[in-house]
Amino acid sequence: MMHYIYTIEKEIVYTFTVFLILFNLVSLYFIVDLFSYDEIIGYLTNGEIKSDSPRSLAYLLFVSGMSNLLFVTVSLMSRLLSE
């Protein structure tokens, strides 16, 4: 019975890890697309226009996404290769 629970737990961990890797790859696609924008313009309720360059946020999100992807991939590989 314990062995059965352990194998189900391993399958759940592997499934969610692969899902997290795919989610990070999709988010990196949108972050790289964000690099192509020169500025983002927003219209405020009082009629003013606010513009901002998204490059600094894109760099922060890119570094965060890549480090998350590296951590998840290394942890998955260490689990798979330790057996």
Instruction: Tell me the pLDDT tens digit for each residue of 25-69.
Output: 999 999 999 888 888 888 888 888 888 888 888 999 999 999 999
Cα–Cα distance for residue pair 48/23, rounded to 1 Å: 36
Tell me which amino acid residue 33 is.
Answer: D
Cα–Cα distance for residue pair 2/45, rounded to 1 Å: 60
Q: Considering the entire predicted model, what is its pTM?
A: 0.72
**pLDDT at position 59, please?**
92
Cα–Cα distance for residue pair 58/50, rounded to 1 Å: 18
